[in-house]
C-alpha cells in the first residue's frame, strides 16, 4: 500500500468516524433532530449537538453562542442544561416531552412570567 492509499484510507476512516459519532449523539428520528429547542431563536437540536461537538463548551450557558440559544424568554434554559449533561455523559441528546407539550408549557411559562413575545 503506497502513501496515497494510506492517506485516503485515514481520511475515509476519519470522515466515517465523525459521521457515526455525530449520529450517535443525536436522537434516531430526523424530526426530533430538526425539532427546535430554543423557540425564540429557532435553534434546532442538531445545531446544539453540532455546536457541542465542535466547541466542547465548558458550561451549558455557552450554548448562547449557538445562534443565541436561551437568550430570549429563558424557557429553554433547563432543557439546554439537560442536553448539555446528556452530551457530556456521552448520551444521545433528546427532549423527553412531545413537541406539543413543550410549546404548550412554554406558552404557560410566558403567561406566568408576563413575557411578551416580540412579533
**Shortest distance, CB of residue 36 to ligand FES, whole angstroms?**
8
Choose between 32 and 41: whose C-beta lies nearer to ligand FES: 41
**Shortest distance, CB of residue 2 to ligand FES, whole angstroms?**
52
**Shortest distance, CB of residue 73 to ligand FES, whole angstroms?**
4
| Strand blocks (E) in the chain | 36-38, 43-44
**Shortest distance, CB of residue 38 to ligand FES, whole angstroms?**
3
Residues that bind ligand FES (CB under 6 A): 38-40, 70-76
CA distance 26 to 93: 6
Choose between 26 and 38: whose C-beta lies nearer to ligand FES: 38
CA distance 83 to 8: 35
Do residues 9 and 17 lie in contact, with contact meaning Cβ atoms separated by under 8 Å? no
Long-range CB pairs of 54-58, under 8 A, 24+ apart, other chains included: 57/84
Choose between 11 and 36: whose C-beta lies nearer to ligand FES: 36
Choose between 3 and 111: whose C-beta lies nearer to ligand FES: 111
Extract the C-alpha cell encoding 81: 442544561
Amino acid at each position: 500500500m503506497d502513501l496515497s492509499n494510506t492517506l485516503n484510507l485515514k481520511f475515509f476512516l476519519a470522515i466515517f468516524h465523525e459521521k457515526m459519532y455525530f449520529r450517535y449523539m443525536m436522537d434516531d428520528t430526523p424530526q426530533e433532530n430538526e425539532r427546535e429547542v430554543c423557540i425564540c431563536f429557532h435553534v434546532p437540536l442538531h445545531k446544539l449537538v453540532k455546536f457541542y461537538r465542535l466547541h466542547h463548551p465548558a458550561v451549558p450557558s455557552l450554548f448562547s453562542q449557538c445562534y443565541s440559544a436561551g437568550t430570549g424568554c429563558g424557557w429553554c434554559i433547563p432543557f439546554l442544561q439537560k442536553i448539555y449533561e446528556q452530551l457530556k455523559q456521552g448520551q444521545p441528546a433528546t427532549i423527553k416531552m412531545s413537541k406539543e407539550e413543550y410549546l404548550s408549557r412554554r406558552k404557560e411559562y410566558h403567561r406566568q412570567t408576563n413575557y411578551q413575545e416580540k412579533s
